[in-house]
Amino acid sequence: MRNMVNLTQPYVDQFDAVKERLPGAQLPWLEARRVAGLARFKTVGLPTVKMENWKYTRLPNLDEPGFRLATWDDGHVAVAGVPAFFSDQTALVRLVYVNGIIHPELSQLDQLPDGVSVEPIAQVLETDPGFIEQHMGTEAVAYDQGFAALNAAMMESGTVFRVATGVVINQPIEIVYLNGGTAEPIYRHPRNLFVLESGSQATLVKRHAGISAGAYFNNAVTEIVVGDGAILRHYTIQADCLEALHLSSVHVRVGRDATYENFNLAIGGRLSRTETRVRLEGRGSHCNLSGAYLMKASEHCDNTTVIEHLVPDTTAREVFKGVLNDEARGVFQGKLIVHKDAQRTDGYQMSRALLLSNRAEMDTKPELEIYADDVKCSHGSTTGQIDETALFYLRSRGIPEALARNLLIQSFIAEALEEISDLRVREAMAHQVIHWLPAQCYFAEEWKQP
């Protein structure tokens, strides 16, 4: 058996080789954080199924396909276009990255309202490094997560999104990450920082898509600060290709009377894991972490959440729904920690999975750690198949079986989509779901005449 040193050593070597050309290399505080991140990574190591919160998700051998760190050239591979999401010009602003490099010709940046900025992190490290120094919390983020620690050392791309005090933007801001399309598999360590100052409101739509078939590995870390009274609606569409590996760890701090809404739609990727950790730090704060995933072939999707209620009167809601076909696997781990002072916490958690094949598998692990006494928390999970009675009802009205199944899958997912408060985004997500379906009519038989 290989030991941990061997497993982490290639990354350490890599860091030494590239550190000079990483963004912000001239900043001593950043270098110190990178070095600390690397040290942390060496200690924590790569996740293995022996670790409690990784027990259902096994990483493939990363050396095998010969991943290399993305370069500037990878950001200039040919791109056919940006796949549509909204049916019209709903998004106010759009940033398009190709393998971590921003492409102004694909983006739309001229309509940014005052008090709002969306910029590549490399740029902000030049213009306003103090802002990043203030908000980037390397230690807490990397504490027990090897990959987040590695990201702290290696981070090379990503977005800084800032909304100033009291600024309210209704139209969504879209960030598109196009990945892959390179001859050899590449990996990247994007680092995002979203800061909503007090009383501001914004909607952010992040989309990940594969440029073409072929492997790539994203190891992203996102830190989010939702200031007092602010509202952030944060939506992610993960439509990576079949060979893609996508790890994302999201760290959120929510202030007094503030709301953080997160919805994650995953419709593709060999292995994807989104670990979202929310700290409800201000009284009256609320978070909604929900999502839907539709997986086929041997894709694997892991949604892991940790919500900490730190003060009185905080609420949290989670609704996850998944559809698993073929040999696909789904994982949901939801941990709720109610601290001693967090009286009148209200937490709701629901995870449901629909298995379309008897080879598909779902693992669910709810965990409650409650140290306060006046608390309302409920959780539930189900794993089931298509309801045969409903299927017959639809077919008895002339709807062919394949279409009837699709309708039932759509209706199953619809319940999760209802958690999305922005209706434009909800509708666009519903289209993504429909788009996933036809390819999935593996039951589809030709609509035959008798």
CB of 404 to other proteins, least distance (A): 8
CB of 434 to other proteins, least distance (A): 12
399 belongs to the binding site for other proteins (CB under 8 A): yes
d(CA 292, CA 303): 10
The residue among 361 and 401 lying less far from other proteins, judged by its C-beta, is 401
Q: Phi/psi zone of residue 81: left (φ > 0), alpha (ψ -120 to 50 degrees), beta?
A: left
403 belongs to the binding site for other proteins (CB under 8 A): yes
12 belongs to the binding site for other proteins (CB under 8 A): no
CB of 414 to other proteins, least distance (A): 4
CB of 358 to other proteins, least distance (A): 17
Residue among 346, 309, 216 nearest 271 (CA): 216
- Please give the full DSSP string across 306-344, using - where no structure is assigned: EEEE-SSS-EEEEEEEEEE-TT-EEEEEEEEEE-TT-TT
Name the one range near other proteins by CB under 8 A: 218-226, 328-336, 362-370, 402-410: 402-410
Stretch 158-217 residues interacting with other proteins (CB under 8 A): none
Which of 392, 434, 439, 443: binder of other proteins (CB under 8 A)? 392
Which of 393, 431, 434, 435: binder of other proteins (CB under 8 A)? 393
Q: 329-357 burial by CB neighbour count: b if 16+ within 10 A, else e?
A: bbbbbbbbbbbeebbebebbbbbbbbbbe
CB of 229 to other proteins, least distance (A): 34
Residue among 45, 43, 46, 34 nearest 153 (CA): 34
CB of 403 to other proteins, least distance (A): 7
Write down the residue that tokens 């939702």 correspond to: 226
- Residue 365 bridge partners (DSSP): 333
10 Å CB burial of residue 441 (0-12, 13-18, 19+) is: middle
The residue among 51 and 394 lying less far from other proteins, judged by its C-beta, is 394
Which of 12, 112, 407, 441: binder of other proteins (CB under 8 A)? 407
The residue among 143 and 392 lying less far from other proteins, judged by its C-beta, is 392
396 belongs to the binding site for other proteins (CB under 8 A): yes
441 belongs to the binding site for other proteins (CB under 8 A): no
Q: Residue 274 contacts by C-beta under 8 Å, 6 or more apart in sequence?
A: 236, 238, 248, 249, 250, 264, 266, 291, 302, 303, 304
395 belongs to the binding site for other proteins (CB under 8 A): yes
CB of 444 to other proteins, least distance (A): 13
Name the one range near other proteins by CB under 8 A: 39-47, 105-113, 237-245, 385-393: 385-393
423 belongs to the binding site for other proteins (CB under 8 A): no
444 belongs to the binding site for other proteins (CB under 8 A): no
390 belongs to the binding site for other proteins (CB under 8 A): yes
404 belongs to the binding site for other proteins (CB under 8 A): yes
Give the number of residues in contact with other proteins, rule: CB under 8 A: 27
Which of 3, 114, 397, 423: binder of other proteins (CB under 8 A)? 397
Name the one range near other proteins by CB under 8 A: 37-45, 134-142, 294-302, 398-406: 398-406
CB of 363 to other proteins, least distance (A): 25
CB of 105 within 8 A of CB of 76? no
Which of 213, 411, 438, 443: binder of other proteins (CB under 8 A)? 411
450 belongs to the binding site for other proteins (CB under 8 A): yes
Hey, what are 93's tokens? Answer: 């602003």
Write down the residue that tokens 């600390």 correspond to: 36
Q: Pairing state of beta strands 159-163 and 201-210?
A: unpaired
The residue among 167 and 294 lying less far from other proteins, judged by its C-beta, is 294
- Residue 368 bridge partners (DSSP): 336
d(CA 156, CA 154): 6
Q: Give me the count of residues in the chain.
A: 450
Integer angstrom CA distances of residue 22 from 188, 191, 265, 288 = 12, 12, 31, 35
Which of 35, 414, 441, 444: binder of other proteins (CB under 8 A)? 414
129 belongs to the binding site for other proteins (CB under 8 A): no
Q: Pairing state of beta strands 101-102 and 93-98?
A: antiparallel
d(CA 226, CA 77): 35
Residue among 55, 11, 31, 49 nearest 332 (CA): 55
The residue among 407 and 441 lying less far from other proteins, judged by its C-beta, is 407
446 belongs to the binding site for other proteins (CB under 8 A): no
Which residues would be at the binding site for other proteins (CB under 8 A)? 388-390, 392-401, 403-404, 407-408, 410-415, 447-450
